[in-house]
Chain A
């Protein structure tokens, strides 16, 4: 097990080195991992199948440029620091249009996360607006769906066993208090907790299922998504990815839930 871990670390270092060169020698800060440029993790079959194809007309050439991504989700401790610096985001002051009524409701008070959950557990019960503001405050941005999925796909060795593990997690009722970040093994890029702890906001979560129907004068844009769409997915057995797309599609930017947190991303040249 130790050997496997070391091997992963070496692989990650090799990838980081190789892509570091490609990205103009940019070095990643310690708390961020560099994900090299590459194709987005394909999910929908491009074109022609009548499927709402998120990436249909981008073609194979539209690689995701290299990017940095936080190795760990943003923690309650980190978010408390943000709130002290930006008190307008504290739960008693935040505008209703920017966060729903359950925003940070599991905190002891405006700036105190409380002791029930460890301070290094991921912050949840945050809206997209709050997550977005946090990342901007850090000089970063939320990762796009393409970036997040690319980071989560690791180096492409997403085995059936991994998927089973992810699905087992998805199927567990979320009753236990959240554990601390960075406990499990990192993936090939050195990123922790992409699966198994929380769901995460993405910058453009509202973009995934736009179909060309929106250009059809008679078309409404709401019924974009249904179970039969899975027939057109690249891999119909990839339920885990499907569930992530479905979840994102169900969100509004002011929503908060007990299992939805975030991490930030950045361009390699301005970490």
Chain B
């Protein structure tokens, strides 16, 4: 009897979410509510994780940005064939990484999301990460489809355009997110040292 009650309660708990999930296409932003069963705290409306777009990490696993939830994040949109601005963005992120305290370093994510939907496949990203000695315990590299890239860029206010030769013109922005994916700081341009983002990330990681 108790067992039946338990089953019934579970069914009731699951059903409303299941009903909504059935109505949602897989890429709709709305279905995260039903999938967030392991994260009971409601997500802030200001969180960029409200966007439900799907990405693939460098191991080929399909992920949503909210899988980053729980750690503060330093994020930049780049592409690996980029020979000019992107290496500087990466260098700035690595500079931030090197200035963090060892404790903070273990509690943050560094994320590169690629503009290049065609060339930056997971295997390419993995090679890139290895070549730049990016520590897999804190570096995440994301490959996304056209819609996911567009949506993230819109969320971050990043402007970009693909050129005829396949390269991209894009704004150079390092974004710092708190543990819930709320934008706390953006450094635009490559001129300045990333002192402010680094200090903020250190504080957020404590």
The chain A residues found within 8 Å of chain B, CB to CB, are: 54, 57-59, 61-62, 85-86, 88-89, 95-98, 128-129, 132-133, 136-137, 203-204, 206-212, 214-222, 252-253
Contacts and interface: CB of A to CB of B under 8 A. Distances in A.
Contact of A207 (B159, B172, B190): B159
Contacts of A211: 169
Interface in B20-37: 23, 27-30, 33
B159 A96 contact: no
Contacts, number: 102
Interface string B159-182: 111011100011110000000000
Interface string B182-206: 0000001111000000000000000
Interface stretch (B45-53, B102-110, B121-129): B45-53
B8 interface: no
Given A96-B46, A98-B50, A210-B159, A215 B154 contact: no
Interface stretch (B56-64, B68-76, B145-153): B145-153
A210 B170 contact: yes
Most chain B beta carbons < 10 A, residue from A59, A204, A214, A222: A214
The 4 closest A-B pairs by CB, nearest first: A253-B154, A220-B189, A88-B30, A95-B50
A10 B28 CA distance: 41
Given A86-B30, A95-B45, A212 B147 contact: no
Contacts of A253: 154-155, 157
Contacts of A252: 157
Nearest to B47: A97
A208 B160 CA distance: 8
Most chain B beta carbons < 10 A, residue from A136, A137, A207: A207
